[in-house]
């Protein structure tokens, strides 16, 4: 039985006072939830979140990581630095990183490997654009994104990783994949991993992300291969985020 995970990606949002209120609401409610909860603030707020989450069951994650261990990479943050600030998870390959910051499949795979080398759990984000879906290429695109990582790290590495299926057309748009559309892709992801290692595939948590709201979370999380959610906009509103967490109970 896979424990569901609800991960809140704050993107480039937040401020000290606002974070403090949001973190207090989440930590107060989290111990009563059956799912695992994680928050992903921007880098400068990791220390604030680490302190606020101390002693709670809420996990901390970062939104990105450098593929390099250290060195002359101005503006970058390494996996070991994230680990020092209490991060358990890190997002790799978010569609905004791929589209806006030119992260290729090779770079995403290197970041995945760097995260694991510092004992962080990477959440590998994969997803198709609307054009790719309309061209009937969804499963092929996702399979290629996943294969790029599997080729670099091997299937055993997926035992300490999470995958997030995030259709690009659903992120921040208010349009959500139907539960059936999401389940079809999640099942394909699990089958791709199962072809290499059935045990790893069975234990792999595959999150859905893309305009998850309290109103659609129950049905999405009820699908057999959907193991929780990666939440953007709704992660900034305590009531909505906690209702989504309850939907994963
Ligand atoms: C995301 O940021 O990964 C995301 C899914 O955003 P939203 O929930 O706002 O669509």
- Domain residue limits, the chain: 59-230
Q: Which residue's CA is minimally distant from atom 1 of ligand 1?
A: 232
pLDDT of residue 202: 98
pLDDT of residue 247: 97
Report the separation in Å between the CA atom of 136 and the middle of ligand 1, taken as the mean of its atom positions.
23
pLDDT of residue 249: 82
Report the separation in Å between the CA atom of 169 and the middle of ligand 1, taken as the mean of its atom positions.
10
Which ligand 1 atom is the nearest neighbour of the CA of 9? 2
- pLDDT digits 0-9 by tens, 46-57: 999 999 999 999
240 lines ligand 1 (CB under 6 A): no
231 lines ligand 1 (CB under 6 A): yes
Q: Rounded to an integer, what distance in angstroms lies between the CA atom of residue 181 and that of residue 174?
A: 16
DSSP assignments along 95-131, one per residue: HHHHHHS---HHHHHHHHHHHHHTT-EEEEEE---HH
Give the predicted TM-score (pTM) of the model.
0.98
Ranges of residues in the chain with a pLDDT under 50 are: none
Under CATH, which number does the domain 59-230 receive? 3.20.20.70
Give catalytic residue positions: 94, 166
Q: Rounded to an integer, what distance in angstroms lies between the CA atom of residue 108 and that of residue 6?
A: 22
Q: Rounded to an integer, what distance in angstroms lies between the CA atom of residue 182 and that of residue 223?
A: 9
167 lines ligand 1 (CB under 6 A): no
SS3 of 165, please? strand
- 121 forms beta bridges with 89
**Angle made by CA atoms 177, 158, 224, in degrees to the nearest 5:** 40
176 lines ligand 1 (CB under 6 A): no
pLDDT of residue 219: 98
């Amino acid at each position: 039985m896979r424990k569901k995970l609800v991960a809140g990606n704050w993107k480039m949002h937040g401020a000290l006072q606002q974070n403090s209120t949001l973190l207090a609401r989440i930590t107060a409610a989290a111990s009563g939830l059956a799912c695992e909860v994680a928050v992903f603030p921007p880098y400068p707020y990791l220390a604030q979140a680490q302190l606020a989450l101390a002693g709670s069951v809420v996990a901390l994650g970062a939104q990105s990581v450098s593929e390099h261990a250290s060195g002359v990479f101005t503006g970058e943050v390494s996996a070991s630095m994230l680990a020092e600030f209490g991060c358990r998870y890190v997002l790799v390959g978010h569609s905004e990183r791929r589209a806006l910051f030119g992260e290729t499949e090779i770079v995403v795979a290197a970041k995945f490997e760097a995260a694991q080398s510092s004992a962080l759990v990477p959440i590998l984000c994969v997803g198709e654009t609307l054009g790719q879906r309309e061209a009937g290429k969804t499963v092929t695109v996702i399979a290629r994104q996943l294969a790029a990582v599997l080729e670099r790290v091997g299937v055993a590495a997926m035992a300490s990783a999470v995958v997030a299926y995030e259709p690009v057309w659903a992120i921040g748009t208010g349009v959500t994949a139907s539960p059936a559309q999401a389940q079809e892709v999640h099942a394909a992801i699990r089958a791709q991993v199962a072809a290499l290692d059935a045990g790893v595939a069975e234990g792999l948590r595959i999150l859905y992300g893309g305009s998850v709201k309290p109103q659609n979370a129950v049905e999405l999380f009820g699908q057999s291969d959907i193991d929780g959610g990666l939440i953007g906009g709704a992660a900034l509103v305590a009531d909505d985020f906690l209702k989504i967490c309850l939907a994963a109970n």
